[in-house]
Chains A and B, each alone.
Chain A
Amino acid sequence: MTQHSGSSFGAPTSSIPRRKMLKFSLFGAVGLVLSPAALTACSNGSKTALAGGQEAVALPAFAAPVKPTPTLPGTSDGVMDVYASFPMNGPVTVKDVVGDGSEFEFLVMTYGQPAPPLEENAYWQILNKELNLKLKPVMVPYADFPQKFPAMVAGNDLPDVVSVPVNMTVNRLPELAKTQFTDLSDFISGDAVKKYPNLAGIPPYAWKNGLLNGRMYGVPKTDPVFGGQMYTKPDVFEKAGANLTPKSLEEFEESMKAVTDPKAGVYALGNPITDFILQSYGVQNKWTQASDGTFTSHFESEQFIPAIEKMATYYKAGYFHPDTATLEKTRRDSLFRTSKLAMTYDGNRAFGIIADDRNLVFSMMPSFGFDGTATPTYWTGKGAYAITMLKKTTDEKKIDQFLKTMNWLCAPFGSKESFIASYGQEGTNYEMRDGVAILTERGQREQDLGFAYIAGGPQVLVNPQGAPGVDAAIHAWQTSVIPYLAEDPTAHLYSPTQNSKGASLEQGMTDAITAVFLGRSSSASLKSAVSTWKSNGGEKIATEFAEAVKA
């Protein structure tokens, strides 16, 4: 899954590990993962001026949930709480019966194999029992979602509950929401959400993703604010005597040079680092909004071409693995694990994969300015992985049951509900070792149900099986980049051209960047690539974003 919508070659990508999806999301509402802007705009349930042609309704009011004391506390601007393990015997947050025994069919995009059938799936059975519902997943593999979803829409075959990943391009989503899904505004906007206390624990920045046409249509699954990051292998750096925390591109290059040892098959990197370099130059997150309301793409920034040129010099110097152009993620991860790559640039979910490997010690490189004095940026994500919507209905009982189900699913970290959703049934899905619940192999397989992907509050870091100190290192890194957080001002705006042509336009730029990076074209070609991008739709996208803000 692309964290940064593929705008540049090297944007971090990572398949979503279902385990981490479960852990991060279900280990609920703790660290108030709020960006300052989001807090200012929305924390009191104030009305927002988002796209849609009308004044937007108030976002659901935020009420911080009660949380267990973390080992390392997070902060209100995005640093995640760290826990040594999942607390046992947590409080019950949902006291009423959630469902009425009816079927709860939900469409979910998955990254895993389908879950075993109900009769063989203890996890599914316990969820059905706890919720008093008959959960029925309609699973669509992520690679096939763009084909399956339109067909289901055309055939009017969408199930009652539909979860749409926010980074997945769905044509005319606002219009689709208006015609196909239930407007939940009257039930969750502002203080109304307090009827569902766990939903009130979802931070406003995540709710923004559910705001379409100025109305609340979706319940989000909250994501950390962090986008891509530079993972490092301290053992490789230590062996080479290289600096793990460079303060400028010059020092960064020295480190790359030190760790690269072609004879031993060790290279600094195996994938392009466009976003990382652009951020060191202080380039804003994809788009910049001027005071007059106009938008400018980062492709048009002064630093764009110098940054790509700089990255190309690293490739030319031989710091990148020779197979970088074709190195797929699986192999790149293998090389990183075995210290054949000193660094890898990947999405925030990647630490979900590697943080649970006791044998893998890694750290993350803090942000730095290109010349040692400039202020870098750190690009944040959209704040949610997906939004989940209810098919159009006026039946308030049905809407209430949907929201109650979401409320159960969004139970905060440490609660009984989040424990059940994360671990299932003792004996079959998990077992206790030294006071820590450990999922069994069966437990892991059965959670492929996808139910936990559809909604959730803020995530926490809890990796009892990970290498000692890794969670603390992640926490320290998160703290270090907070001052540089840069939001994409268009993250929650809708542009029809971006929706229909955005992917191909981005691909054109990616190809141009790749050509320069690999030395196949001169950096001058980027100028014409940007011109082409603008004339083929980039300019129109900028105009549409500006109109969306005014609307």
Chain B
Amino acid sequence: MSRSTETRPAWMGKPTPFASVSRALGIVLMCALVIFPFLVVVSTSLATQTEIDRNGGYVIIPTEISFEAYRQIFNGTQVTRSIIISVGITVVGTLFSLTCTVLAAYGLSRKGSLFQKGLLTFVLITLLFGPGMIPVYLMVKNMGMLNTYWALIIPGAVSAFNIIIIRGFIQSIPQEMFEAARIDGASEWRVLWQLVIPLSRASIAVVGLFLAVGYWNNYFGPLLYLTDTDKWPLQLLMRSFVLQNNISSTAQQIPGMVRPPQQAVQMAFVVISTIPILLAYPFLTKHMSKGMLTGAVKG
């Protein structure tokens, strides 16, 4: 072995077969750790009660596929309606929040904006002192938003954290580009629309994804603000299924009917509520990684 090889850092050298195998095993293990819970969730949702009981509550690979849990869940219009509601809240909420966040971030990133410093301080303070549950509830009530979908969107539409992220990204755009746009006669709106937003796509995508996941997963807002159960989104409905396991306690009274597997129903609901997010991720992965790495190599 040459001297230069001896001094070369380990990660720059050619890996030994042992290292390659170890690395491969490590990656497989990591993948298994991620995939296994999903597999169990999907398998259990498709298993029969007998098999679930036999396996002590969870199934890895079902020997007999049963869609009974899904049939139970989609029996009636509740779940379908709640999925539509959740999608609606997520889409409208994300677009509304992104619009507010980008506008606020742009304004706060431009030196010389009216009350820029004061407003920035005001925004930062909200990071330190969050409102309590009851004050927010009272605000929502006094604004006449109780039992409306706006109560799920407006109170949490603007997050100081997201503003800071996008503001930071906008500030990293070279000043010369703004000046060039100005010389070309671009207005503030045009600068924002044709310069800032295209260049900030990655960070906006990341924030958008966070917002969308947040809206999709929100059950507490609907719980507090929606009294009409017809308006419940999927997550609140899922909570009632998963926590309360009521189906099995009732359905077992019907002779001849396959008793809906309690655990399977829970797992089926988890599958249903996870699918939209899983579908959204591949389209955003590119922006996600780019957005996440933004700033990582900056001095």
Instruction: Spell out A's residues near B (CB within 8 Å).
Output: 15, 17-20, 110-117, 120, 137-144, 147-148, 150-151, 154-155, 157, 159, 265, 330-331, 333-335, 337-338, 340, 352-353, 356-358, 433, 438-441, 444-445, 447-448, 465
Q: Decide: B223 and A148 in contact? CB cutoff 8 A.
A: yes
Given A334-B57, A441-B257, A444-B254, decide whether A116 and B249 contact each other with a Cβ distance below 8 A: no
CA distance A151 to B223 in the complex (A): 11
Bound-complex Cα distance A247 to B276 (A): 57
Given contacts A17-B249, A151-B133, A439-B254, contact A112 B240 (CB under 8 A): yes
| A147 and B75 within 8 A (CB) | no
A440 vs B80: C-alpha distance when bound (angstroms): 22
Q: Which residues of B contact A334 (CB under 8 A)?
A: 52-53, 56-57, 263
A-B complex: 3 closest residue pairs judged by Cβ atoms = A17-B249, A114-B229, A331-B57
Question: How many residues belonging to B are interface residues under a CB distance threshold of 8 Å?
Answer: 45
Can you name 9 A-B pairs with beta carbons within 8 Å? A17-B250, A111-B246, A117-B77, A117-B229, A139-B229, A140-B223, A335-B56, A353-B252, A441-B254
A352 vs B248: C-alpha distance in the bound complex, in angstroms? 12
List the A side residues contacting B138 at CB < 8 Å: 154-155
Determine if B246 and A448 form an interchain contact, defined as CB atoms under 8 angstroms apart.
Answer: yes
Residues of B contacting A151 in the complex (Cβ-Cβ under 8 angstroms): 133-134, 137, 224
**In the complex, which of the residues A17, A141, A353 contacts B223, with contact meaning CB atoms closer than 8 Å?**
A141
| B146 interfacial by beta-carbon distance below 8 Å | yes
Evaluate whether A113 and B246 lie within 8 angstroms (CB atoms) in the complex, with A120-B76, A150-B134, A338-B53 already known: yes
Contact present for B249 and A353 (CB under 8 Å): yes
Q: How many inter-chain contacts with C-beta < 8 Å in the A-B complex?
A: 139
**Best-surrounded residue of B57, B230, B251, B263 (most CB of chain A within 10 A):** B57
Tell me the bound Cα distance from A447 to B133 in angstroms.
Answer: 32
- Say whether, besides A116-B78, A444-B250, A143 and B237 are in contact (CB < 8 Å): no
- B137 near A337 (CB under 8 angstroms)? no
User: What's the nearest-Cβ distance from chain A to residue B195, in Å?
Assistant: 44
- CB <8 Å contact, B244 and A110: yes
Chain A hits for B223, CB < 8 A: 140-141, 144, 147-148
Q: Which of B52, B57, B230, B247 contacts A117 (CB 8 A)?
A: B230
Residues of B within 8 A of A150 (CB): 134
Contacts of B286 on A, CB cut-off 8 Å?
none
With beta carbons under 8 angstroms apart, the residue of A114, A138, A147, A357 that contacts B252 is A357
* The residue from A17, A113, A117, A444 contacting B241, defined by CB atoms under 8 A apart: A113
| Residues of chain B within 8 A of A333, CB atoms compared | 262
B 250-261 to A, binary, CB cutoff 8 A, 1 in contact else 0: 111111010100
- Residue of B53, B54, B134, B138 with most chain A CB atoms under a 10 A cut-off: B53
